[in-house]
Amino acid sequence: MRNVITIGVLLFVMIICAGPATAQQKGPVEAVAQGLVDTVATGCEKELAAYCQGVTPGEGRILACLYAHEDKLSGQCEYALFDAAAQLERAVAALAYLVNECGDDLETYCAGVQAGEGRLLDCLDKNEKKISSRCNQALKDTGLK
């Protein structure tokens, strides 16, 4: 159960940082966030229907509900939470790697670009010939190029 608490905290942070996922959002961060939400929604479908049906989604309330009922979660739901946390950990590591390798290029070529919906990646793509080989390699390594 200790893992479920840790996972809940991680997912809560992810949802707060990612904001609401809508059909209009198309960036890779939004896609990852929606994938995490879908993983938990599918894996915890029974628990969500039984314990969290009346909870208004957003601001971590659904995860708080699951946390409040952690002693009643099925193995499938616990695994879905664990899987979502593992996916989140990989996404955060990839993002940290990209920031480390592309930070200077982002400051140089994309300083005026608003983050979100893939705009920073579009900017790096438009400046592909100018950005550093380290940044290009990081984009390839993370599958964003």
Round to whole Å and give the CA distance between 84 and 137.
27
Say what the pLDDT of residue 6 is: 46
What is the DSSP-derived secondary structure letter of residue 85?
A: H
Round to whole Å and give the CA distance between 80 and 74.
10
What is the residue-level pLDDT of the chain in tens, covering all 145 positions? 444 444 444 444 444 444 444 444 457 777 888 888 899 999 999 999 999 999 998 898 998 999 999 999 999 999 999 999 999 899 889 989 999 999 999 999 999 999 888 889 999 999 999 999 999 999 999 888 8
